Structure 1
Amino acid sequence: MSSAADHGYPTMKNGHPVHDYVTALKNARSFDGQVVYHREFDPAAPTFGKPEKTWPVSIGDLLGSMGIDRLYAHQVQTIDRVRAGIHTVAATRTASGKTLTYALPVFEAVVDDASTCALFIYPLKALAQDQLKAINGMSAHLPGTLFRADIYDGDTSAYRRKKIRDNPPHVLMTNPEMIHLSVLPHHERWADLLGRLRFVVVDEVHTYRGMLGSHMAQVFRRLQRMCRHYGQSPTFVFTSATVANPEELAGQLTGLPVETVTESTAGAGRRHLILIEPVDGPLAATMTLLKSALNRGLRTIVYTQSRKLAELLAIWAKNRSGPFADRISAYRAGFLPEERREIESRLASGELLAVITTSALELGIDIGSLDLCLLVGYPGSIVATWQRGGRVGRSGQESAVVMVAGEDALDQFFVNNPEQLVMRPPEAAVINPYNPDVLSRHLTCAAAELPLAVDDPLLQPEAVHGCLRQLLADGALYLSADGTTCYSPMKNPHRHVNLRGAGSRYTIVNASDNTRLGEIDGFRVFRETHPGAIYLHRGKSFLVDALEPETKKIHVRRTRVNFHTRVRSHKDTLILDIMDQKAVYGTNMAVGRLRVTEQVTGYDRIETRTGKVLERIPLDLPPMVFETQGLWFIVPAGLTAMAQTARVHVMGGLHALEHAAIGVFPLLVLADRNDLGGISTPFHPQLESAGIFIYDGLPGGAGICAQAFSDGPGLLDATLAAISGCPCKTGCPSCVHSPKCGSGNRPIDKAAAMFLLRALISGTTPPARQVIHLPMVEGNADDGDEPVPVTDSPREPGSYGVLDIETQRSAREVGGWHHAERMRVSCVVLYDSRTDDYYEFVEGQVPALLEHIRQLDKVVGFNIKRFDYRVLSAYTDLDFRRIPTLDILEKVKAQLGYRLSLDHLASVTLNTGKTADGLDALKWWREGKMARILEYCRSDVAITRDLYRFGLAHRYLLFKNKAKQTVRLPVDW
């Protein structure tokens, strides 16, 4: 967009603070020979376009009031599609005016029909707050229109929430959690909004990758399902940073056909890109660069690769910046919301001159007009590099991005190939829409929102079928008696689903005053907040005193130490399923499903200044077991034998090869090495050879390894280039050392890794055929095409008896049910499948009963273990645990978590009920009516037998759940 007088940006150079800073940097003696690359990008003039349809007068007036007489060409292309009802993604660079591409069509629709509603979804609450100001600022120019926009998130008061639900605004701004936790499970309260929903805007869609993206793929499908329920089919509009596959990503997230606009036509100010290879390490260089920027008054953002490093840098910067100490702050995920809002406000106002952050400030939150971006290490992807760099120069002023290379393999790759930083295309964003761990949770949520018909579009993809079968078998979903509808046994399963992490969340508590410092997800808790760990928060060090899995709390206390901590761990992997495999050079590479077991065994205390290990401390923590996706390749036995003959350290080479391959992975896929895990082994029993495993580091997998598998040769080539291109002698963090290695990078042998890789790539030894012996686990078998389990023919159970006992005394008379052995037998009825007949016993015939039972393959009863056997124990020393027994009540309780009566199950499953109850039998005993008791007992045995036979034939019983729906209870006799 542009005013009539603004056709570009200023080209001022000499005397500009950024220009002077760059000149001084290149001429500084302290950086002599360390500036390996400098590229200056000239200002770019914008290109404009004209919409296909003329704007109505009201929108034209709005644009005129904002001083906009023309729109950028890419804005027009996006707007034309959205106005035509086409699902569209605008994937252009930062500060290219993407907000107008969805705001203007929404404003137009509201002016035309005041009942129109739109849903704007932002990945962070801060973004929604920021965009509300922008939308309200625009809508204020709408003449005579009562346009309303409002935010609904975790910070909205209960009073405001009810007002919003009862009278929805034209634009509701929210985040993924509120869609998942509030709108969908309580859709009846949102019927007015959902019934008028015309647009769904998904901002910063490139952030929905990995685990969050996999969750959101199901959230968006559930949202569309609910829109259909209320008669709407809204147009989806996505905005994104520049990624390789915006159309594919948006399509995977929603299952919808999507068109793209990718070329930015907005202007840009003069920009500098500088790459530094520091002599004294990246942290010291960054401190020097930051101090110089502060002295020049440059508003600076510093990006680090970890929370810990952001905190450490903030501590050092404050200690060394003199008068600027109070104008520097750390910023990262894990801070409390009010802490983040305060930092954002101070940064936008100019009170803060510098912020040291992680990717948490990568997105488009308005933090004012910044001048300088310092990248402490390569951000892990081209996408993130330009997204972070786009935080400066947003007002068109001259700006600079300085990347300070570290020892990481990718940093060194770009030091040696600096033009690649500019020329390399952006990576693809990857998600796994049908991650089974994620899918199962969302199917349960969907069924709780509205009962799921088996022909619902949500259940039709083939990838869903096996997951649905397992949910029904586990009792996580109930199938209706007629087999057409799935119900959720939980009223609100949504609160058990964390969209952004794996497992539950742990709260970090300051033990000194019991205040909440932050939180961490259950997948990282043992690695980062184990007992004895040093936890950093806002520049302060805390020692972890206690980790409580039961309460999900971590207790920490303030401390001052000269060390940090690093865990040691051991990992194993099991191949569960093979999705694909192929020959790659002299090896065989495969991709599939893995089960990973990681055991944190201890931690090292490492002196921060020198990196020296001060102490090694053991830990006794439970193993973490999860299933994920991964790729692996074998190192043939012939090659390892050849290496041993050449006196090559095979294990050291395999370990080094694994680290190097993980290090270069982000050259192929949009991923961070922290998104991945790896295992190298000199012999894996399923491979029957040595092997290298690389896997997605979260349960279920995010599709990262599956995409990298498609370029197997590229992975091996890049790995060899990274190792052989590093000038070190024996291995270093730039090639084969890993910062998170659970064994402390031991053993590592760089030369051995090159030996093995060169042999694999050259095909020196023929690849062994990969014959993998898969374990018999769920998911190996073919799931077939039907989304609902079919009934198998009855299985032969062998000989069995069905037993029921009536007693002489009540529980009250003997002091409670736990004294059942005192109740005495009045009679027993036993059905024997061998003769298809009933046998009756009274108290004096118990020995004959027991002898009969011993002849059966199985005994079936209802509450037989806790009651019938305890009554009989008064007459014998027989160990009833040695008798094969099926207790139907025990099975029911194990499946449901609560008990059902025999009468309930018989009435619903068999359409017949009990003829009497235990109190009647006690009354008849006192009256001497043994025939009545035997008749009643025989009836109960017949009912129990028929329930057993029904479950045997159909693999389910029927019952009424708490919502009074007749549903199937899966059983496996």
Structure 2
Amino acid sequence: MAGTGELLDVLLAGGRRADRATHVRVLPERAGEHADWPTWADTDLVHGYRELGVERPWRHQVEAADAAWAGRHAVLATSTGSGKSLAFWLPALTAVRAASASGVLAPGRVETVARRASTLYLCPTKALAADQLAALDRLVGAARTRDVRVATCDGDTSLDERRWVQEHAQVVLTNPDFVHFALLPQHRRWSRLLGSLRYVVVDECHAFRGVFGAHVGLVLRRLRRIAESYGSSPVFLLASATTSDPAESAARLVGVDPDDVVAVTADASPAGRKTFVLWQPPELPGREAPWSALVDDDPWATPVPVPAAATTAGDAERTAPPSPDDVWRVDTDPAPAAPEGRIVAEPDELPRRTATAEVADLLADLAAAGARTLAFTRSRRGAESVAASAQRALDEVDPELARTVRAYRGGYLPEERRELERAIRSGDLRGLATTNALELGVDISGLDAVLIAGWPGTRVSLWQQAGRAGRAGAEGLVALVAREDPLDTFLVHHPEAILDAPVEATVFDATNPYVLAPHLCAAAAELPLRAEELATFGPQTGELLAELVERGALRRRPSGWYWTHAEPATRLTDLRGTGGDPVRVVESATGRLLGTVDAGSADSTVHDGAVYVHQGLAFVVDDLRLADGVALVTRRDVDYGTWARWVTSTDIVSVDEQVAWGPLTWGFGHVDVTTQVLSYQRRRLPDLQVLGSTDLDLPARTLRTTAVWWTAPAEVLAAAGVTVEAVPGALHAAEHASIGLLPLLATCDRWDLGGLSTAMHADTEQPTVFVHDAFPGGAGFAERGFRLGATWLRATRDAIAACRCSTGCPACVQSPKCGNGNDPLDKAAAIRLLDVVLTHADG
């Protein structure tokens, strides 16, 4: 394929699109630095690596492998494609082979039978485990070491296969969910593996962040505890993207002291020159804001159980806990925030083309030019839309070209994903429009370009996605295409905030009582908890255990804490917060399984009448059977899509902290967020004109989480010149803009947050704006907003004021996930109100 200069010319269309590139930077190439193979490494494995083309390892691979072989916990935090897997498989497989050899040489000795080394490999997704299995099979085959028994084991593994793994496998590849639900509760069946456990590999550990990271950290503490009960003390090897302070993050995940973790961060692998382009889609002529129908992403991801009386006096921005596609982002260290008074959004006169439409055109042009490209989108709907639009554009040029672009996302069947991965590797496909399902370590190398539709939430994720371009030292092109969002607009006009700022730390709180309590129950069910073990789970464990005893969840005895209920304790928690088993999407006429949808998002995506798109083909949902976990669909060609509409209310459960800003109240605490899908709209494609609306009868759902809120009493509204009629629109606009700007301070993502604004709230008895975390128990985002209240609201005010649209647009006060269709909104009143609020905050 051509170099990045020619690809950049394709992107710029020979100069016709040059005005859309707000910044172009060339990142220089980096030379690689080799090291010798360790003397302890198994010679057959070294031969196998050489057969696969690895003549000598990179220096960082050897440093991490040496630390592991010496019995030190280690984390390797280097770039995408730097060969992290060699660093953990070399010591792990060498240990397996050495133990196997000792069993052959001394077959009569009991200890050689009981202590043969084993390895447990954990990763975020089944796809990554399958990819690693294929890579290990290639290595074992090249090394001719047939005495190494490797197997995957997860929820899809049959009982017979699972029994073989329990009795024979030396290397088991799985995920934290399986460890939580199956391995630890049935640890006696896994005693052979646990008693000989030498290494635990945690791959892509930067993905374990936020609430999910807290869950996984507690699963690893339970795993260490059970392994120790069988006499083993495994070494933990962690592989991560480049993150801030990886030793601290890895230690927090495993539950050990940071001084006990060796961090290897100097990347010695070669990197080709990379051209990084920041891109803003063009204005659409002849359109006037507001244009709330231009929705780029899924309107929500996960609903939540509720009382029937779910109503809202104002507006609610939809709570969106992530689906399995979406790795959520948490960090308590803020990204570089704008100084006071700095403008954080560029002026806009007209609405701009959506990032989805823009990326589809760029993907088509790059595919036509022969470039192999990944286009990362923010949702499953976005991936299908980008692929379908690119196919239509290419079909006009050459129907054969149209078949070289496909979609890739969660919810596809495993065999379908494997085929797509194979095709993009081999070059049979030139383009994949994907969710962040391909952000993690599935080995897809040699790509020419990466397109990113919208800020992915953190710089860690941005560089992970960008690292797919130009791997193995080749040149690559990366383009970040801005959505109409205040943060995206800010970033593409301030490249230093992306390209010159350090990456974030991976942050989570394993002491969150909402997360910790069910894991303590699970641990007690596995083996009674002893007093000397409580420090493993954190300093507040004793208090929480007392509360669990008082509630009847556990029973206290002199020998420890016991789980005495018949049902499994592991059912008390869901690691990923997806709300239950996936809903299967089944074609009514044939019984064919098309894919799955998380239980939480089923209400909004596969309700009766919904259009479900699979590889460009439209299916209409005939019947959603929530009790059976099935959505029955029929293949139909339709010229419309469907968008769910819902209503949300927020009730204050506890006020944990409160500050008076003059007459205002600035509060933080726990809230119950109640949501119910009420109807859906049909919108014609591609212009998104509303064709009609249909009511739905679906259950209400509730989420208990943490929120920050501020009130606007009558005297504040009067000082701002906000009349009674303008109050809902002013609060609504301020809420949307503040949600859009909080990621600048909390390093989260807009879709990690929800909110509500109301002209009169029952608990505060005043007009109130709420912003809450979209996860059970909270994830620290709202608390970060509470701590930085004045800075946050000032950035919000500046973002609204800097945008020159007349009544509000997606770059300032409109939201892509508004439950009320971005109505009402009053931009001018929001600015006046925030001016007065900030006066009191400064006081």
- TM-score interval, normalised by the smaller of the two chains: 0.7 to 0.9
Deviation at 1:666, TM superposition (A): 2.4
Q: Write out per-residue CA displacement over residues 267-301 of structure 1, whole angstroms, 9 at most, x where no aligned residue.
A: 21011111222225234432332222122211111
C-alpha contact 1:128 1:151 (8 A) present in aligned 2: yes
- The amino acid of 1:546's aligned partner reads D
The CA distance in 1 between the partners of 2:369 and 2:560, in whole Å, is: 70
For the pair 1:94 / 2:80, whether they are aligned, the reply is yes
Deviation at 1:310, TM superposition (A): 1.1
C-alpha contact 1:89 1:237 (8 A) present in aligned 2: yes
Q: Write out per-residue CA displacement over residues 756-802 of structure 1, whole angstroms, 9 at most, x where no aligned residue.
A: 22333343785xxxxxxxxxxxxxxxxxxxxxxxxxxxxxxxxxxxx
Find the partner of 1:316 among 389, 394, 402. 389
C-alpha contact 1:585 1:760 (8 A) present in aligned 2: no
The CA distance in 2 between the partners of 1:486 and 1:673, in whole Å, is: 41
Deviation at 1:141, TM superposition (A): 6.7
Q: Equivalences for 1:262-341 in 2 at 5 Å?
A: 262-279=265-282, 281=353, 282-322=355-395, 323-341=400-418
Find the partner of 1:499 among 575, 587, 592. 575
Matching residue of 1:692: 769
TM-score by length of 1: 0.71
The CA distance in 1 between the partners of 2:267 and 2:655, in whole Å, is: 42
C-alpha contact 2:28 2:274 (8 A) present in aligned 1: yes
Question: Identity, % of aligned pairs?
Answer: 38
Matching residue of 1:238: 238
Matching residue of 2:831: 754
Q: Write out per-residue CA displacement over residues 843-887 of structure 1, whole angstroms, 9 at most, x where no aligned residue.
A: xxxxxxxxxxxxxxxxxxxxxxxxxxxxxxxxxxxxxxxxxxxxx
The CA distance in 2 between the partners of 1:23 and 1:421, in whole Å, is: 23
C-alpha contact 1:648 1:752 (8 A) present in aligned 2: no
Find the partner of 1:563 among 619, 635, 640. 640
Matching residue of 2:525: 448
Matching residue of 1:176: 176
C-alpha contact 1:759 1:765 (8 A) present in aligned 2: no
The CA distance in 2 between the partners of 1:291 and 1:159, in whole Å, is: 46
- The amino acid of 1:217's aligned partner reads G
Matching residue of 1:224: 224
Cα 1:583–1:346 change in 2 (3 A) is: farther
Q: Write out per-residue CA displacement over residues 552-579 of structure 1, whole angstroms, 9 at most, x where no aligned residue.
A: 3333333333322223322222222344
- The amino acid of 1:121's aligned partner reads L
Matching residue of 1:619: 696
The CA distance in 2 between the partners of 1:530 and 1:435, in whole Å, is: 34
Matching residue of 1:21: 7
> Unaligned regions of 5+ residues in structure 1, if any?
1-14, 767-973
The CA distance in 2 between the partners of 1:242 and 1:351, in whole Å, is: 31
Find the partner of 1:489 among 554, 565, 588. 565
Matching residue of 1:724: 801
Matching residue of 1:165: 166
Structure with the larger RCO, 1 or 2 (CA within 8 Å, 6+ apart): 2
The CA distance in 1 between the partners of 2:60 and 2:658, in whole Å, is: 42
Deviation at 1:532, TM superposition (A): 2.9
Deviation at 1:748, TM superposition (A): 0.9
Deviation at 1:460, TM superposition (A): 5.8
Please, which moves more after superposition, 458-467 or 688-697? 458-467
Deviation at 1:367, TM superposition (A): 2.6
For the pair 1:629 / 2:733, whether they are aligned, the reply is no
- The amino acid of 2:402's aligned partner reads A
Q: Equivalences for 1:516-527 in 2 at 5 Å?
A: 516-527=593-604
The CA distance in 2 between the partners of 1:143 and 1:586, in whole Å, is: 76
Cα 1:585–1:433 change in 2 (3 A) is: farther
The CA distance in 1 between the partners of 2:66 and 2:25, in whole Å, is: 36
Deviation at 1:440, TM superposition (A): 4.1
- The amino acid of 1:678's aligned partner reads G
Q: Write out per-residue CA displacement over residues 655-703 of structure 1, whole angstroms, 9 at most, x where no aligned residue.
A: 1111112112322334322221111223334334333211121322233
Find the partner of 2:506 among 405, 413, 429. 429
C-alpha contact 1:432 1:701 (8 A) present in aligned 2: no
C-alpha contact 1:18 1:400 (8 A) present in aligned 2: yes
C-alpha contact 1:428 1:669 (8 A) present in aligned 2: no
C-alpha contact 1:584 1:713 (8 A) present in aligned 2: no
- The amino acid of 1:502's aligned partner reads T
Cα 1:527–1:628 change in 2 (3 A) is: same
Find the partner of 2:60 among 70, 74, 83. 74
Q: Equivalences for 1:703-782 in 2 at 5 Å?
A: 703-763=780-840
The CA distance in 2 between the partners of 1:519 and 1:140, in whole Å, is: 34
Counterpart of 2:836 in 1: which secondary structure?
A: helix
Matching residue of 1:792: none
C-alpha contact 2:722 2:833 (8 A) present in aligned 1: no
Q: Write out per-residue CA displacement over residues 623-672 of structure 1, whole angstroms, 9 at most, x where no aligned residue.
A: 21121122223345432231246789332121111111211232233432
Matching residue of 1:83: 69
C-alpha contact 2:521 2:554 (8 A) present in aligned 1: yes
Q: Write out per-residue CA displacement over residues 84-116 of structure 1, whole angstroms, 9 at most, x where no aligned residue.
A: 433222222111221122223324434554422
The CA distance in 2 between the partners of 1:469 and 1:104, in whole Å, is: 45
Deviation at 1:63, TM superposition (A): 6.7
Deviation at 1:504, TM superposition (A): 1.7
Cα 1:252–1:459 change in 2 (3 A) is: closer
Q: Write out per-residue CA displacement over residues 314-335 of structure 1, whole angstroms, 9 at most, x where no aligned residue.
A: 2222233222122221111111
Cα 1:643–1:612 change in 2 (3 A) is: farther
The CA distance in 2 between the partners of 1:645 and 1:694, in whole Å, is: 21
C-alpha contact 2:361 2:393 (8 A) present in aligned 1: no
- The amino acid of 2:264's aligned partner reads V
> Unaligned regions of 5+ residues in structure 2, if any?
101-115, 285-352
Deviation at 1:588, TM superposition (A): 5.2
Deviation at 1:478, TM superposition (A): 4.6
Deviation at 1:221, TM superposition (A): 1.8
Deviation at 1:385, TM superposition (A): 1.4
The CA distance in 1 between the partners of 2:211 and 2:500, in whole Å, is: 29
Deviation at 1:64, TM superposition (A): 6.4
Matching residue of 2:472: 395
Counterpart of 2:402 in 1: which secondary structure?
A: helix
- The amino acid of 1:499's aligned partner reads L
C-alpha contact 2:152 2:174 (8 A) present in aligned 1: yes
For the pair 1:359 / 2:362, whether they are aligned, the reply is no
Matching residue of 1:131: 132
Q: Equivalences for 1:187-206 in 2 at 5 Å?
A: 187-206=187-206
Cα 1:659–1:248 change in 2 (3 A) is: farther
Deviation at 1:55, TM superposition (A): 4.2
Matching residue of 1:805: none
The CA distance in 2 between the partners of 1:601 and 1:560, in whole Å, is: 26
Matching residue of 1:827: none
Deviation at 1:711, TM superposition (A): 3.5
- Structure whose CA Rg is larger: 1
